[in-house]
Amino acid sequence: MALKDLINSAAGLAGLKISRTVSSLGNKLGVYGIAKQDYEISGGNITFHKLKVTIPYNKALPVLEGYENAVNLVTQGGASFFTDAENNVNVRVAQAQFVINDQEELYILSEVFLEGSYNLLAATNKKIALIDIGMNVGITSLFYASKPEVEKTFSFEPFLPTFNMALNNIKRNPSFSHKLNPNNFGLAKENGSMTISYSTKQKGRMGFGGAPSSITDKYVTQQEIFLKPVADEFAKIKPQVQDNFVVCKMDCEGAEYEIIDALHSAGLLSLPDMYFIEWHVKSPDDIIAKLVQCNFNVIGTTFKGKPFGMIYAIKKGA
């Protein structure tokens, strides 16, 4: 839910933005769409009854803004929320644990764990390896690594603050963290570096074009990122996955076009047996055509009313 610039309520919800509107009269959290009976405010904390967790005011904003997804994770996914020694909000869902830094992460967790955005449905007797291009805070990489049939993951995230959040999540999953190979650089056609605008708000929308214009300037900084040739990295990965069923998840905010083109030119597009690719703005036709040329069965989708969608591809005979 979009937030306004608001003042603290008389109840002293330090750091939280509370609106005195008709909908929130008598319900201090009504602006977040939270029913009065669903919480209790006491002693500097908020107890969320449906989430069965008590969170200090100054740590509660991600849950307040992402409350609907948080409830869905509990009711549909059996997730549990708790706070750690630093009072950061954590969630445990399935076999994985994550720190929640922003409401967007609750949305992505719902996408991955509840909606099955990257569920692998192909029948295979091989152990699985994941190539995660656009790791973000590591949700998809950890979703895969938590599964016994997954042997290893190779993940790429160019933004250092986001990468550090991913490392923090990886540390919280010691039973399968050894499967992860995280890399703090992006993949492109060629070596390079650039300084672009960045925000921890909506981290998943950060790409070579920088922070979305909808993000308030006070949340935006400048970050230098480094890029390496995707063909070189796939060539390094290839001997490590010879016996694996290889899945490539690609969500890199527009870089997918040059990545696919570079892999196609290098003869490495067929290294993965399966692709999950989110395409952005430009037509996905060229990506689809290259995959078809490399013997993939392909399904392309467009999200309703949006200039992006998904491409699902599986190699024939895989």
Q: Are 39 and 49 in contact (CB under 8 A)?
A: yes
Q: Tell which wins on pLDDT, 317 or 168.
A: 168
Q: Which pLDDT score is estimated for 153?
A: 98
**129 in Cβ contact with 154 (< 8 Å):** yes
Give DSSP secondary structure letters for 160-172: HHHHHHHHHHHHT
For residue 123, name the pLDDT band (cuts at 50, 70, 90). confident
Q: What is the pLDDT of residue 14?
A: 43
Sheet containing 39-42: which strands, arranged edge to edge?
39-42, 45-48, 53-56
The one-letter code for the residue type at 280 is H
Indicate the SS3 state at residue 70. helix
Any idea which of 26-30, 166-170, 214-218, 261-265 has the lowest mean pLDDT? 214-218
Which residues have CB under 8 Å from 290's CB, separation 6+? Answer: 260, 261, 264, 269
Neighbours of 263 (CB within 10 A): 22
Please tell me the pTM assigned to this model: 0.88
Query: Cα torsion for 242, 269, 313, 308, to the nearest 10°?
Result: 140
Q: Six-digit token pair at 162?
A: 């986001």
Write down the pLDDT at residue 213: 66
Two tokens at 209? 């074009």
Q: How confident is the model at residue 266 (pLDDT cuts 50, 70, 90)?
A: very high
What is the pLDDT at residue 65? 95
Residue written as token pair 């010691």: 174
pLDDT tens digits, 207-225: 666 666 667 767 788 999 9
For residue 204, pLDDT over 80 is answered with no
DSSP run (H or E) holding 260: helix 256-265
**pLDDT tens, residue by residue, 144-193:** 999 999 999 999 999 999 999 999 999 999 999 999 999 999 999 999 99
**% of the chain with per-residue pLDDT over 90:** 74
Does the pLDDT of residue 25 top 70, yes or no? Answer: no
Q: What is the mean pLDDT of residues 128-134?
A: 97
**CB contact at 8 A, 193 and 97:** no
pLDDT score at 26: 75
The DSSP annotation for 112-150 comes to IIIS-TT------SSPEEEEEES-TTSHHHHHHHTSTTE
More confident residue, 12 or 128: 128
Give me the chain's average pLDDT, please: 89
At residue 199, the pLDDT reads 81
> How many whole angstroms separate alpha carbon 206 and alpha carbon 198?
7
Res. 5: pLDDT tops 50: no
What is the DSSP secondary structure assignment for residue 248, as one 8-state letter? E
| 35-94 tens-digit pLDDT | 999 999 999 999 999 999 999 999 999 999 999 999 999 999 999 999 999 999 999 999
**Strands (E) located in the chain:** 39-42, 45-48, 53-56, 80-83, 89-93, 96-99, 128-133, 150-156, 180-183, 186-188, 192-199, 220-229, 245-250, 274-280, 296-300, 308-315
